[in-house]
Chain A
Amino acid sequence: AASTPKPLPSTGPKSLREMPHPLATSSSEEMGPALTPSPDLLLPRSIADKDLSLPNGTPVDTSSPASSSSLLNRLQLDDDLDVETRDLFVTVDDPKKHVCTMETYITYRVTTKTTRAEFDLPEYSVRRRYQDFDWLRNKLEESQPTHLIPPLPEKFVVKGVVDRFSEEFVETRRKALDKFLKRITDHPVLSFNEHFNVFLTAKDLNAYKKQGMALLSKVGESVKYVTGGYKLRSRPLEFAAIGDYLDTFSLKLGTIDRIAQRIIKEQLEYLVELREYGPVYSTWGGLEVELSEPLEGVSACIGNCCTALEELSEDMTEDFLPVLREYILYAESMKNVLKKRDQVQAEYEAKLEAVALKKEDRPKVPTDVEKCQDRVECFNADLKADMERWQNNKRQDFRQLLMGMADKNIQYYEKVCVT
């Protein structure tokens, strides 16, 4: 009878290379002797040797023909990749409005520069609209269900007041889409995804999409291998902790979002009063002779303060808030992955039981599941580590931005009040 799986070591937010090879450390008794631990840590290719596939039958993405050593090098690099060693660069820019009979929409230019062999050309430039990005994300979720896919900016504009075609909205969206692609680019596995490749390179994406749809219906697979009905026995502490963390995290970010919005609102109200305040000094100046100059000076100062404050509020709205919301979305999708993980574990446990009951020596199925679980955990931990680092840097980035803005505001005051 197959033994119950050892509780996997709690890995915590470590970097990829610090983690022990899951296939090596987990109970090797359960694995077939044919599987040799390879230096490729999480390369799908090694598992492909055993003709494993994901429980739902989707073949694992093994399109990468890159040599294992170069991949290893890549994987061993710190997340703050040196520019010289990176071989894929993607940017989103140049939004343009398209007016058609049926609809009006915006497209963005997606530029790719690469030396990777997976790409036929070293450079690509295509135009994509939000729909296309959405499609890409869905495809990634389908094909890499154990990975955390970065979030997209919100599809629908909540406030009916916001203009979909306003400069600020388009720019905010562009930045978010750019970040989305860059995160995928930086990901050691996602960046090799076939759909991602097509997204970056195809002239006619719609044709490919249609083709994909047909294929899907042929195979008749369901994307979700979250098979309901399996009850989880015990969730490893580690994941329970992550779940809790994500809950609290989203909560706190939500609070910060509300606070920031409140501050912006208060600042705008303050601005309204300031706008009335300045001119009164001017009026007074008109009344006086000797004092008119200093009074006009004060009026002008206040005017400058108004401008600076306006800029501050704008910057906060455009740069600070979207990042917060993005992370909340991220947390949401992470939680979904956790749920899937739970399901996988549940399924595994159930199958294990079934096997035990059947008294069959068929470790293959459970092994599949366990390996899958391993991978989930690995990636999860890795990505969580990523996320922390990203959080760190991003927070630093936009806090600095906030600080810089406050500074700018304040320095403005200084310069201006010296009159």
Chain B
Amino acid sequence: RAVESQGEGQCAPVESLWRRYSEFELLRNYLSVTYPHIVVPPLPEKRADFVWHKLSADNMDPDFVERRRIGLENFLLRVASHPVLCQDKIFYSFLTQEGGWKEMVNETGFQLKADSRLKALNATFRVKNPDKRFTELKHYSDELQSVISHLLRVRARVADRLYGVYKVHGNYGRVFSEWSAIEKEMGDGLQSAGHHMDVYAASIDDILEEEEHYADQLKEYLFYAEALRAVCRKHELMQYDLEMAAQDLTSKKQQCEELATGTVRTFSLKGMTSKLFGQETPEQREAKIKVLEEQIQEGEEQLKSKNLEGRDFVKSAWADIERFKEQKNHDLKEALISYAVMQISMCKKGIQVWTNAKECFSKM
């Protein structure tokens, strides 16, 4: 299927891998800009992060590449299952069109729409009346990011230590074997128990490999938190623009009023200079008033449409956020359950090995 073929493209040699990933990035950027009110699914990490010592941090490592492939596939599935995003034509051609896709995307001129201010991560907009829900949401997404990355870091350390514990048991295998050589009745028992210790020590590799999958699920939501945050910032930005526009309108109205009534309420350089260097002619004043009135009318229309835009944005964004929340709760619940299942299975394996060893010992 179309999705699979894109995914499989990742197995191609080095150059195509990197190009492919960048095309995914391009797609995502396009979607983020074109649908600012949507929480756009995130891409898997570019570089291996949160690794514990056994896992290589090498991006060319086959395990990492494989996990990234799965992540990219997952990304496409997310987009495809989104009620709004799946209908996008560029997305469709990403899946179906071999050549010239990049050009097509650039032709849409979406980069022009991209507000560079959003890129400034630390920039804050002094917004007077943001929608409280968004403020809370932004706060939540920050906290979520922080807690998940903490979790992932500690998990990596836990995995590291657990690996150590299991591996040292392998030494038992060797010494039991050596010991069994000098024993008579105890020999067989020791030898077979030693074998089980080796099995135990080896089992940790698979266990931790499986756990990586859980870590990846968490990572997805770590990055989702950023997408969530992005939507909040877009709202902030819109609100900021709105407030700026309203402020501008108000000041223009004031100016107009002042000119009309001749009173100077606010200090303005023009006012001062005209006072110092002579009054304006009534004609000049009329002309100014006319210009201002036009601007005011424009401004009012703009404000109206901005308001409308803003409200629409809030409405549709919030709808998507609700959808996202449900998805998140569902996904994470499942992830936690499968993690628990993994742990149980790990314990059961442990029980099995030790029970076997016990049996060997009892036969000594």
Contacts and interface: CB of A to CB of B under 8 A. Distances in A.
Interface string A264-279: 0011011011101100
B169 interface: yes
B336 interface: yes
Interface in B123-181: 140, 143-144, 147-148, 150-151, 154-155, 157-158, 160-162, 164-165, 168-169, 171-172, 175, 178-179
A418 B344 contact: yes
A287 B143 contact: yes
B164 A259 contact: no
Nearest to A405: B354
Given A277-B154, A277-B155, A395 B361 contact: yes
Interface stretch (B11-19, B30-38, B182-190): B182-190
Interface in A290-337: 290-291, 294-295, 298, 301
B340 A291 contact: no
Contacts of B169: 263
Interface of A: 13, 245, 248-249, 252, 255-256, 259, 262-263, 266-267, 269-270, 272-274, 276-277, 280-281, 283-284, 287-288, 290-291, 294-295, 298, 301, 388, 391-392, 395-396, 399-400, 403, 406-407, 410-411, 413-414, 417-419
Interface in B200-247: none
Nearest to B172: A259
A409 B6 CA distance: 46
Interface of B: 140, 143-144, 147-148, 150-151, 154-155, 157-158, 160-162, 164-165, 168-169, 171-172, 175, 178-179, 182, 184-186, 193, 329, 332-333, 336-337, 339-340, 343-344, 346-348, 350-351, 354-355, 357-358, 361-362, 364
A263 B76 CA distance: 45
B354 A407 contact: yes
Contacts, number: 132
A263 B361 contact: no
B357 to A, nearest CB: 7
Contacts of B347: 410-411, 413-414, 417
B161 A269 contact: yes
Given A252-B178, A403-B355, A406-B354, A273 B348 contact: no
Given A13-B184, A280-B154, A295 B172 contact: no
A294 B162 contact: no
Contact of B151 (A267, A281, A403, A411): A281
15 contacts: A13-B184, A245-B182, A252-B179, A263-B168, A270-B162, A272-B161, A273-B161, A276-B154, A280-B150, A280-B151, A284-B144, A287-B147, A291-B332, A388-B186, A410-B351
Given A269-B164, A273-B158, A295-B336, A392 B175 contact: no
A406 B350 contact: yes
Given A270-B161, A414-B344, A417-B343, A248 B182 contact: yes
Interface of A is mostly: helix
B51 to A, nearest CB: 15
A276 B158 CA distance: 9
Contacts of A277: 151, 154-155, 158
A395 B193 CA distance: 12
B273 to A, nearest CB: 58
B172 A392 contact: no
A315 to B, nearest CB: 14
A291 B364 contact: no
Given A284-B148, A298-B336, A403-B361, 16 more contacts: A248-B182, A256-B172, A266-B168, A273-B154, A273-B157, A276-B154, A281-B151, A294-B337, A298-B340, A301-B343, A388-B185, A388-B186, A395-B186, A399-B193, A400-B361, A410-B351
